A and B are shown apart, each in its own frame.
Chain A
Amino acid sequence: MSLDAHDTEGVAGITRSLFLRQSAGLAASLSLASVLAACGSSDAGSGRTAGRPPAKPTGTFAFPLDGASTTFDPAYGNLLPDFIVMHTIYDRLVLFNDAYTDLTPSLATSWEQSADAREFTFHLRPNVRFHDGEPLDSTAVKKTFEYFVSATASFAYLLMPPKFAKLDDSDPAVLRVVTSIPQPDFVRNQTFLGVLSPKAVAKGADYIKQNAIGSGAYTFSRRGGTGGVVVEANKDYWGGGPYFERIDFSVISDPGAQINALLAGQANMAYRMPPTQVARVKSAAKIQTVSGPVWSSTFLPIACNVKPFDDVRVRQAVAHAIDKEALIAAVARGQGEVADTFTPKGVVGYAQPSTTYRHDPARARQLLAEAGHTQPVKLRMITHAGAYLQPQLAQAVAGQLNEAGFAAQVDVVDVVAYGRAVGDARQQTYAAFPTEYTWLTGGPLIQELNAVQAVSRYAADDIVKPLDRMRTTPDGPERDAAFKAFEDAFSQQVPMVPLFQSVYTDGLDDTVGGYTRTPKNGYGPNFGPLYAAAR
């Protein structure tokens, strides 16, 4: 077992930062209201097999998790295994389409929002029942929203407005939401949060943690040994599928062991395989691999309050010192694309930056000299052993920095020590914290300010002002301008050096169909359409 191999402490071993933004030209966002698919389940997507789903649920799907599933509460779930399991049990109001460009109906068949992004109307799907028999109606959704807002220590809380001005459930088929401040991303955030049965909500957080009562394609069956879970087909599911009798989530924390299990036929899937092992899975018989870019990028955040990194020239020198292509080739084994922006491509909020930095050690040295440094500049980085590939990445970056006028060193510590170092805004020891940020909802969330300010300790107006505008401006040209202003300032000031956008690959039994590789990092696939054809 190696703690350095795979992450259990958070999605991809890193911080999740949620960003809110709508891409340019997404008048589509306003026309989301006009996206009225009839029955909302996605197609039996892009599975490679030419098989067809069985007539009724058959067989078991073995999906190894890399850690224990510790909670069934969509509010407090923090770790990847929790999300994956919950994705089978809960439905959401809206989902992304297979191409991940638009929202499609799920529990909500259609929705509208006002031009100032303060009023939202969701039309709910009729004849949907939760696993405990309760019907889906506007009251149920209202109760779920209220629960999330009340759970102030939870993750879901960060996705909700601090409070609602009005939640009108007078019409059981329609929920009207009014917020006091604009929530430009409110609808998009619903792709992340599940809807709970009101009876479960009434029983409180402790009950919810241990009892999964959603409306999804699978119901909770029992707990496995070491934190695993078994879920069973929901025979009365309103949407397409499910096609398995049960899904067995076992816990195999070592990704190498997961892949061995897949190759040996003991598991049907290895989710998000380490890039270092992709090659051997690709060449294996009876296995298919599905790859795709994710809404996730790896960065080198620089602590701007640690001298001499308060000088922008020194930070720019860091950016020039790094050879991103080499990093992708060596550390990520080709599973990545060079990133130059804070927001990854494909996420609402992406804008072409005004400044990019090519690998140029000579320029780096020149900048350092201009800033008055004749001796190698000390830079101490910190990362933790459980973070996926981060220790290796940090080593590689340190090596590159050392050839461009820096004296870089990496400390690999325990995750708790890491959290404390990153969270301590006053510490002066560590100047960089290589990390990966994930955009869970395909758009910006309130935390962008936190990321640049909390981790990089950067507080100047050129970045902070656009962020403020982004947060409250509804989608449209004004918001797009704010996105552009932010990315320009970000690339100019380099509070973080964007390294690369991740590409993830899953390994699957080749009998599995209906599988779409989602760019959302941290949910797992949509399990409804998943099936196994006979070989």
Chain B
Amino acid sequence: MSATTTVETAAASRPARLRSARQTLRPNRSLRAGVLLLASVLVLSLVGVLALDDPNHQVLADAFAKPGARGHLLGADPLGRDVLAWCARGVWTSLEVSLAVATLAAVFGTAVGVVAGYFGGPLDALLMRLVDLSLAIPPLLLFVSLSVVLSPSRVTLILLLALVAWIPYARVVRTRILAERERPYVAAGRLAGTPDRQICIRHLVPAASTAILVLLTLQLGYVLLWEAGLSFLGLGLQPPNVSLGYMVAQGRDYLADAWWVTTIPGLVIVTLMLSFNLIGDGLRDLFQDDVAVGGADGR
């Protein structure tokens, strides 16, 4: 729980529904910009993936080629892999991983949040303490320990990241549910004998859906950052998986001679993050939802 809870509860007390049609049509600059940016990046990288060579193709003779040299528009990495091809493919890998992690985290986190918020009492306390516990364990230790035990793969990485990413959902959803369950229709439903599960799934979750959506969009970016950070530490996706973070890490030793190896994939990451954030902010404005203030990255 954070101090933003006050804000969260205040927001939660307002019905979180879409604005009237007239207001929806009002230009939402943030959303438009974000979607446009993301679409451009995706289209460009798709073109790149289709038109360019396999990013894993090493040409040792081309190692450290400068941008523009030897047919490498953005240069080549220490093993002669084309940076442009790598970035193009890397965008899609990042997207896949981010979506997978965010979805997994959203499902699990929402479930925890709904149960905690709806049932309250000791179950709520238990689940929230579980959240605290998860926060208290350094992710680095978790990753290293589990990577000793599990074999390295994309699935393992997704699971590991999801293990960290579910927390904001739990908290945010819980707050929303806490407020929502006080509403008359919930009490009415219960009196009428509607099973809890139905109330939760068909009414409470949709009530929290805008918050979940905003959080998910924002989290796409953070998962991207985390994966890049893990690659930086040597724990992330390895070739033949094409990871932007991997190349940023590769280039670290060669900053002085081959700055493009780190800088360019880094810029791609920044651009992707920017688009996710713009979209998330836009959605937040759209839904008039202040619920995820600073919460998306787990803070």
Q: A residues near B, CB below 8 A?
A: 1-5, 255-256, 274, 276-277, 279-280, 323, 326-327, 329-331, 385-386, 391-392, 395-396, 399-400, 409-414, 416-417
Say whether B80 contacts A413, CB under 8 Å.
no
Shortest distance from the beta carbon of A331 to any chain B beta carbon, whole Å: 7
Shortest distance from the beta carbon of A255 to any chain B beta carbon, whole Å: 8
Interface Cβ pair total, 8 Å cutoff: 84
Q: Which residues of A contact B235 (CB under 8 A)?
A: 3, 385, 414
Say whether B252 contacts A392, CB under 8 Å.
no
Q: Which residues of A contact B253 (CB under 8 A)?
A: 2, 5, 255-256, 274, 276-277
Q: Which residue of B lies closest to A385 (CB)?
A: B234
User: Pick the contact of B79 from A274, A323, A399 — CB < 8 Å?
Assistant: A399
Q: Which residues of A contact B9 (CB under 8 A)?
A: none
Shortest distance from the beta carbon of B70 to any chain A beta carbon, whole Å: 14
Known: A2-B234, A392-B78. A327 touches B60 (CB 8 A): yes
Number of chain B interface residues as a range? 20 to 34
Shortest distance from the beta carbon of B148 to any chain A beta carbon, whole Å: 5
User: In the complex, A326→B152 CA distance in Å?
Assistant: 28
Q: Which residue of B lies closest to A254 (CB)?
A: B252
Q: Is B61 an interface residue (CB 8 A)?
A: yes
Known: A330-B79, A395-B239. A412 touches B152 (CB 8 A): yes
Q: Which residues of B contact A327 (CB under 8 A)?
A: 60
Supply 6 A–B pairs (Cβ within 8 Å), ascending by A.
A2-B232, A4-B234, A331-B79, A391-B238, A395-B58, A414-B235
Q: Which residues of A contact B288 (CB under 8 A)?
A: none
Known: A3-B235, A4-B249. A330 touches B256 (CB 8 A): no
User: In the complex, A397→B92 CA distance in Å?
Assistant: 26
Say whether B238 contacts A411, CB under 8 Å.
yes
Say whether A396 contacts B58, CB under 8 Å.
yes
User: Pick the contact of A280 from B152, B238, B240, B257 — CB < 8 Å?
Assistant: B257
* Binary interface encoding of chain B residues 149-176 relative to chain A, with 1 for a CB under 8 A from any of its CBs, else 0: 0011000000000000000000000000
Shortest distance from the beta carbon of A67 to any chain B beta carbon, whole Å: 16
User: In the complex, A411→B238 CA distance in Å?
Assistant: 7
Say whether B238 contacts A276, CB under 8 Å.
no
Q: Is B63 an interface residue (CB 8 A)?
A: yes
User: In the complex, A301→B222 CA distance in Å?
Assistant: 40
**CB neighbors of A among B239-296 (8 A):** 239-240, 249-250, 252-257
Q: Which residues of A contact B61 (CB under 8 A)?
A: 326, 330
Say whether B256 contacts A280, CB under 8 Å.
yes
Q: Which residue of A lies closest to B254 (CB)?
A: A276
User: In the complex, A191→B232 CA distance in Å?
Assistant: 39
Say whether A414 contacts B238, CB under 8 Å.
no
Say whether A329 contacts B147, CB under 8 Å.
no
Q: Which residues of B contact A385 (CB under 8 A)?
A: 234-235
Say whether A329 contacts B234, CB under 8 Å.
no
Say whether A326 contacts B249, CB under 8 Å.
no
Q: Is B47 an interface residue (CB 8 A)?
A: no
